[in-house]
Amino acid sequence: MGGLKVQLKGGEARLVDGGNLAGSTLWMNQGLKNLRDVSGLELKDLIRVTSWNQAIELGLGDTLGKVEKGYIADLAVLDAKSFKVKAVFLDGKRRI
């Protein structure tokens, strides 16, 4: 946090000096599940709004954000209902 000391406690990240909220400790898979639960979006649309749109915004849409030939193969496989991580692939190789 730019040299600021942060304390993690009870699922919150707070600045040690002053106690202000410093950021989120939410895991991406839980955030994706939360978005599905409140929006009702289908999985294909969740992937688009949480991966490909950001890659495009960052100017990386030609190499990131899709599961297609020629794209960087870093991805997580999640359980369709619980969104728990089932596998992780980095550079196309299974790591978990």
pLDDT in tens, 38-64: 999 998 898 888 888 899 999 999 999
Sign of the alpha-carbon dihedral angle for 42, 46, 93, 58: positive
pLDDT tens, position by position, 7-44: 998 888 999 999 999 988 899 899 999 999 999 999 88
Mean per-residue pLDDT for 54-81? 91
What pLDDT score does 24 carry?
85
Domain ranges of the chain: 26-94
pLDDT at 84 over 90: yes
Q: Which two tokens stand for residue 32?
A: 């994706």
